[in-house]
Structure 1
Amino acid sequence: MTLALPPADSRTVAGRRVRYRIAGDGPPVVLLHGIGRTMEDFSAVQEALARYHQVLALDLPGHGGSAPLDDRHTLPTLATAVAEFLDAAGVAGPAHLVGNSMGGAVAMRLAADAPERAASLVLVNSAGFGREVTAALRLLAVRPLARLLLRPHPAIARRTERAIFHDPAYVTEARIATALAAARQPHAPRVMLELVRSLGTWRGVRPEWRAELLDAVAALDLPTLVVWGDRDLILPAAHLAYARSRLPRAQGHLFRDTGHMPQIERAAEFAALVKRFWTRPGAAGPA
């Protein structure tokens, strides 16, 4: 197994290396991955959406091939880093912000902190809508266990990938190799622990940042689509109902027989859904 990240572009932004891909022309779309992941989680969707949009995907700070921040890694510092990347890429106006898992929370934080940058939100099995989260992340808040669990070991990477997808056919050797390559970056454990401990405890996701962030996003009244996979083992699908209650004007969609990453397991359906949402914001589909 060759442990290397797939080829991508890179540039220096605010003195820090950022790994990214930009494809297509049209209204801008920004794709934001989850904790401990890379932009490869959006590869298929980026290709599909690039037929109609300029689609920007990047490794968040300290993830994949992007260098870590000098500051602590939190939702606000990640959102600021995304804004700096958009400036460097020449995206001055509002963009459609698409985030999976923690990336959804980053997208919401960016919209709340800089409303002029957000044309809409697409939140994919997003963090921020409930306390419940997989035990694997909660255990990282327990210091004696964290170092053991963050070892870049093939068995751990395979088990993590298996938890993400409902269909085991998506647990490919290429995805495991990418996960291991990202986990072997020397800064990866520190970044992961800073984020996990800023977002939650061994009991689950902290309520304080969730309440403040959702209040801020609700006040924006942005066109918002919240989607989930009904077999998600990381963030349960029950969070979709809470998302609809906190963001009552949001559209919702539940993918059947789908895990934590509908943008991979249901790539064609997902791309069609968001394209329809951006064209007719009230027509994304029922929860």
Structure 2
Amino acid sequence: MTLAPAEALTVAGRRVRYRVSGDGPPVVLLHGIGRTLDDFADQHHGLARDHRVVSVDLPGHGGSAPLDVPHTLPTLASAVTDALDAVGVTGPAHLVGNSLGGALAMRLAVDDPSRAASLVLVNSAGFGREVTFALRLLALPFARLLLRPHPAIARRTERAIFHDPAYVTEARIATALAAAREPHAARVMLEVVRSLGTWRGVRPQWRAELLDAVAALDLPTLVVWGERDLVLPVRHLTNARTRFPQARTHLFPDTGHMPQIEQAADFEALVRRFWSETGGAAAG
């Protein structure tokens, strides 16, 4: 089985890049800020053996057009919901999100609990104030100058994401550069960053509200972290255990911000075991 190519469809007059593969209980894969659905290519391919897997480029990311309203967690969640409706995923799905995508998965579950069978939160935003200095700088007035697409900047960003430099490939750098060169990319990045944080770090208000609401849902939840994450520090996993005491957690040693890539096979096995043992009721 080969990885299905990404396609595009029009949702509410806006282009959305997506990939759908497989049959079975639905799984939705959500990437992080400034990234694309390619961050979940390995998981998409593996899980599609017996699930219907949907990956999307978030609005204003990769091949998806930006929104006509400011890009915030609620507006991103609404747009993803519209995209899921367009590809026929309207019932409960396993929501899997990395970084910003983790916070987005939680937002989707809170906004419409009928769409969530379980949560897999991968180095997820929302569990602490601390975030990489590079993102905090984007809250400052001169931030747009920091978002100029340049190979050296793209390489440095990729190097911060992965603990193992072997994953900083020319293909990943090229993908990051292509996304950064979209005319709307800097505006979208700044809107998202500034809606979620300041130069001091991630705002506490939206985090507290979201985590309280997710805890009240009592969904099967797995929180995964990479021990060497330079973007969102591993101490956030401790915070997640405190806020979601019933959740399962897993720490990957010698792993950066994207365990789904650096530990692809073990990550897939972990997620499959979690779904099997918790019986998350995704609709077939």
TM-score of the alignment, normalized to the shorter chain, above 0.5: yes
- Partner of residue 285, structure 1: none
Cα distance in 2 for residues equivalent to 1:131 and 1:274: 27
Give, in angstroms, the shift of residue 14 of structure 1: 1.1
Q: Is the aligned partner of 1:266 residue 2:263?
A: yes
Q: Is the aligned partner of 1:234 residue 2:227?
A: no
Q: Secondary structure at the match of 1:21?
A: strand
1:133 to 121, 131, 134: 131
RMSD: 1.0
Cα distance in 2 for residues equivalent to 1:217 and 1:192: 25
- Partner of residue 29, structure 1: 27
Cα distance in 2 for residues equivalent to 1:220 and 1:55: 23
Cα distance in 2 for residues equivalent to 1:167 and 1:239: 21
- Partner of residue 216, structure 1: 213
Q: Is the aligned partner of 1:163 residue 2:160?
A: yes
Give, in angstroms, the shift of residue 281 of structure 1: 2.1
List runs of 5+ in structure 2 lacking aligned partners: 280-284
Contact 2:211 2:243 in 1 (8 A): yes
- Partner of residue 149, structure 1: 146
Cα distance in 1 for residues equivalent to 2:44 and 2:137: 33
Q: TM-score, normalised by structure 1?
A: 0.95
- Partner of residue 81, structure 2: 83
Q: Secondary structure at the match of 1:142?
A: coil
Cα distance in 2 for residues equivalent to 1:86 and 1:8: 15
Cα distance in 1 for residues equivalent to 2:50 and 2:238: 31
Contact 2:62 2:179 in 1 (8 A): yes
1:248 to 245, 257, 269: 245
Contact 2:5 2:19 in 1 (8 A): no
The one-character-per-residue Cα deviations of 1:30-78 (angstroms, maximum 9, x if unpaired) are 0000000000000011101011100000100000000000011000001
Q: Secondary structure at the match of 2:278?
A: coil
Aligned length: 276
2:98 to 100, 107, 119: 100
Cα distance in 2 for residues equivalent to 1:31 and 1:8: 13
1:196 to 193, 196, 200: 193
Cα distance in 2 for residues equivalent to 1:208 and 1:271: 33
* Identical counterparts, % of pairs: 79
Aligned residue identity for 2:44:
Q
Cα distance in 2 for residues equivalent to 1:83 and 1:7: 21
Q: Secondary structure at the match of 2:245?
A: coil
Q: Is the aligned partner of 1:19 residue 2:17?
A: yes
Cα distance in 2 for residues equivalent to 1:147 and 1:269: 38
Cα distance in 2 for residues equivalent to 1:258 and 1:193: 27
The one-character-per-residue Cα deviations of 1:150-203 (angstroms, maximum 9, x if unpaired) are 000000000000000000000000000000000000000000000000000000
Cα distance in 2 for residues equivalent to 1:21 and 1:91: 13
- Partner of residue 282, structure 2: none
Cα distance in 1 for residues equivalent to 2:273 and 2:133: 35
Aligned residue identity for 2:76:
L
The list of structure 1 runs, each at least 4 consecutive aligned residues, that deviate by more than 6 angstroms after superposition, is none
Q: Secondary structure at the match of 1:254?
A: strand
The one-character-per-residue Cα deviations of 1:230-267 (angstroms, maximum 9, x if unpaired) are 00000001100100110111000000100000000000
Give, in angstroms, the shift of residue 8 of structure 1: 1.9
Q: Secondary structure at the match of 2:130?
A: coil
